[in-house]
Structure 1
Amino acid sequence: MSDTTVKTKTKAVRDVRGFWRVLLAVAAPLPMLFMGLYYLLSPVDGDAPFATTLAAVTADPGRFQLMQWLQVPFFLLIPAMFAAAWAARRTAPRLATAGGLLAVGGISAGFFLLPGVVGPEYLVVHDGLDAATMAKFADAAEKQPTEMIGGLLFILAITFGLLLLGIALWRSRVAPAWMGIALAVGGFTHPFMPGHIAAGAGLIVAAIGFAGASIALLRSSNDAFDLPPLGY
């Protein structure tokens, strides 16, 4: 095979690093932003008793249907965490690695082990299921070991995983320092925020922090983002 043929084939390889870099930048702030809106829209706290939540769903089922859709972009939290770790990996490698492993690992376990976005209270109203039976189901499900483990890993990811990623983003200097602090504070304080309004506001702060990773990725060159593709 001649050198000309090799060069032609090498030139034909498409470089998609810019696509992945921009895609991660766009995805990074979305999950926390939409989940923050979910908490702000919710009329009850996340740990409200079954009967309280059921009464709220009965009074306004349309609101809870919208809240379900607001949770859909939350699946982007895994690539968002990866984006934060990737943006900080070169100048804060150990923090980015530790935060990325804890955050992505915990969230992955939580997504797999925890129930979905449709709550039993909503099913009672929407599908006419027996409220007493569904209350027993919800109580029993919360006591299952797998769900308890998933919840624990999920909380560890949100608190300590995002804390480490926020510190890594702050120390890396690839984005404004205050945005790294926003990510660290927004995630770490979430489980301790009193009420759904404060919890929602905290997640909006975390979304702003994730936007710091977006800024870093958008500022980055393709060569700094990743190695170029190989031609064969």
Structure 2
Amino acid sequence: MFTAHSGTAVDRSADRPARDLRRMQRVVAAAVLTIPATAVTIGRLFMTDDSDTRKALDEIAADPSRQQVVVWLGFLSALTVVPAFLALGRLAKRRRPVLAAVALGVNLAAYLGGYAMFAIDGLYLAGAGVPAEQRDGAAALIDQTWSTGASGLSTALFVIGHVIGAILMGLALRGSIPTIGWLAMILSQPGHVVAFVVFQNVVMDSVAWGLMALCFVIAAIAVLRTPDDEWDLPPRGFGTAPAAG
């Protein structure tokens, strides 16, 4: 704000102390960290077996509320997963800056590029909503979407980047969070492989996501315990008295 003083305009905004938002940022980051993997962990328990797409559409049509839970929890996860990984990267970078930067880059590519994984959950719900005689066409469209064009690339990017990125981030978090936390992040990935490749069981995949959620919760506690000066630089001018006169 400018005021007149002896015929000269004076900027009074410089007299205002800078507002330090670092504590609030840590609280918000900790809250966000608890959401994405937890949402997917719960959502997996409501998923319909999609090994046969046509059969899955009929099952969803009989009880669409389960797929609605999957879709909305998937949306919540997609909304928060990137900020959550940014918080993990910030937490890890003080001890392992290079590995944290690489891990963050891989995870951001996987989750920002893996939009199709969340969108296809919505396709199942939409396909189940069409008349029964049209579901063969809806099933064929979903099957084609999985593997062709940008959706196919998005799916591959998510699967590969998610696995590699989680392992790298777990390694980057060593020393920044307790061992059980970063180890849970790493072990979650072979858990996904066993769940889908060996047993094809969504409950086991939910357990794998639960391990990842455990790491996020432990990291959230570490973020809350991190001093402001270790979390970020203070705002310019914070803690200094305004000049006299």
Offset from partner CA, 1:8-32 (integer Å, 9 cap, x none): 7264321111121111111113111
**Cα root mean square deviation, aligned:** 2.5
Measured in 2, the distance between the counterparts of 1:228 and 1:6 equals 22
2:184 aligned residue: 182
Q: Could you list the runs of 4 or more consecutive aligned residues of structure 1 that deviate by over 6 angstroms after TM superposition?
A: 5-8
Question: TM-score of the superposition, structure 1-length normalised?
Answer: 0.86
2:30 aligned residue: 25
1:135 aligned residue: 139
| 2:166 maps to 1:162 | yes
Choose from 122, 131, 134 the match for 2:125: 122
Contact kept? 1:179, 1:208, Cα under 8 Å? yes
Contact kept? 2:38, 2:209, Cα under 8 Å? yes
Contact kept? 1:11, 1:231, Cα under 8 Å? no
Give unmatched runs, 5+ long, in structure 2. 1-9, 239-245
| 2:215 maps to 1:209 | yes
1:63 aligned residue: 66
| Structure 2 counterpart of 1:98, one-letter code | V
The structure number with the bigger radius of gyration is 2
Offset from partner CA, 1:137-193 (integer Å, 9 cap, x none): 112222323112111211122211011111111x2x222111111112114532441
Measured in 2, the distance between the counterparts of 1:114 and 1:43 equals 15
Aligned-pair CA distance for 1:66: 2.0
Measured in 1, the distance between the counterparts of 2:31 and 2:67 equals 27
Choose from 149, 152, 157 the match for 2:156: 152
The DSSP-based 3-state class of the residue aligned with 1:62 is helix
1:35 aligned residue: 40
Q: State the aligned residue count.
A: 225
Measured in 1, the distance between the counterparts of 2:111 and 2:47 equals 22
| Structure 1 counterpart of 2:206, one-letter code | G
2:3 aligned residue: none
Measured in 1, the distance between the counterparts of 2:62 and 2:19 equals 54
Change (3 A) 1:192 1:148: farther
2:236 aligned residue: 230
Question: TM-score of the superposition, structure 2-length normalised?
Answer: 0.82
Contact kept? 1:103, 1:156, Cα under 8 Å? no
Contact kept? 2:145, 2:152, Cα under 8 Å? no
- Percent pairwise identity: 24
